[in-house]
Every structure is written in structure tokens, then in C-alpha cells.
Amino acid sequence: MMKVPRHLFVPKVIESYAYHDCPQQIGEGQTISAPHMVGIMVEKLDLRSGHKVLEVGGGSGYHAAVVAEVVGKKGHVYSVEYIESLAKWGKENIKKCGLDDIVTIIQGDGSKGLLEYAPYDRIFVTCASPDVPPPLLEQLNDKGKLLIPTGGRHYQTLVYYEKRGKKIVKKDYGGCVFVPLRGKYGFRLFS
Ligand code: SAH
């Protein structure tokens, strides 16, 4: 995390708050996760050099950049972002950090996963989902691991899934709050 300049991933006007341990507004009603949450998710995902990773909810590109520092040049991070303007901005931020050979940001509905580059060693979702979208489990490698906040619109549990052959191991990592997942497997209503 020390290698990624977080101030490059927040709007200029709040640059001085970039290193506070809290989420920050990034526009379009979305947020960049707090550093501690990024740290927890990177640790629980058990990332290794060379992993092919899928992120759902690219936002600023910050979380993808931190993951890129772990998987390195032998790995790759595919990050899907629903909102076009954020996908474009996230891409610019990744380029500024010189990580564009490791991170690919794609605009689309990540609730359906990203079949084009599947299967993935690791998948993580940075928005709240009513439940785990079936395509994400399908697009996970055997022995692959997935992290996703599931539950209600305003409060969720960070849930871990590990694929072991036909078996799925599930663990709960406690309460969290994320912005809602949109798209096919996301929340229907927005207020
Ligand atoms: N990981 C981001 C956090 C962004 S907040 C960061 O480091 O900045 C979650 C993001 O998920 C928002 O940008 C939101 O637009 C996006 N999102 C919501 N539903 C989505 C979907 N179905 N597919 C892809 N992205 C989605």
C-alpha cells in the first residue's frame, strides 16, 4: 500500500484528505474505500505474484493498483466499472502510476463477471450485493477465492468463498458498508 500514491486516486479538491483512514467521495455518488478496508480485503484474498484477478467496481482504480503491486508483472488485474466517466478516470489514474501494463479497466456490468478472461484465481467485489452473483462463482478457478460484501443496501457482511472442486467453503469476515452493486445481479431500487 505504501507504493501506491492514494492522492492520485481522489478528486483534486480533497487531495489533502487522501491519506485519512476513511472512504472519500469520488463523484457520481460513489466512494473510494477506506485504506483499512482495502488492506483487510487484500490480506483476506491471499494474493500471490502471478495471480489473474477480477475486480467488480473499479471506481478510482486505487484498490486495483494495490492489488497490482502484489500480483506483479506476471499477474493481471481486470477491473470492471459500471459508470463510464469513472471507468475513464480510473484508467487515467492507473496510467499515472505506471500500472497500465498490469491493470485493465473495462466499462460494463461486472455483476455478470467478465467471461472474456475467465477463469480467475481471485475475484473481489467493492460494492454491496444482495447475494453472490452466480457468474462470479462460475468464473472462479478451482482453489480460487472470492470476497464480496453481501446483505442489505445499507449494511453488509464481508463474505469469503473458496472453491474446492465441487465444494464451496464460506466464511464471514464481519460487518461493512459499501455502495450498492448495480446491473443484472445488483439492487433494483435506487433512492
Ligand atoms: N474499488 C474502488 C471502489 C469504488 S466504489 C476504488 O478503489 O476506488 C464501488 C464502485 O462499484 C462504484 O464506482 C460503482 O460505480 C461500481 N459498480 C456498481 N455496480 C457495478 C457493476 N454492476 N459493475 C461494475 N461496477 C459497478
Q: How far is the CA of 74 from the centre of ligand 1 (A)?
A: 25
Reported as a single tens digit per residue, the pLDDT across 107-152 is 999 999 999 999 999 999 999 999 999 999 999 999 999 999 999 9
Residue 146 · residue 122 · CB < 8 Å: yes
Is the Cβ atom of 185 under 6 angstroms away from ligand 1?
A: no
Which protein residue's CA is at the shortest distance from atom 11 of ligand 1?
57
The SS3 of residue 61 is coil
Amino acid symbol at 11: P
Reported as a single tens digit per residue, the pLDDT across 21-77 is 999 999 999 999 999 999 999 999 999 999 999 999 999 999 999 999 999 999 999
Helices 84-96 and 62-71, axial angle in degrees (round to 10): 40
Is the Cβ atom of 83 under 6 angstroms away from ligand 1?
A: yes
Q: How far is the CA of 58 from the centre of ligand 1 (A)?
A: 5
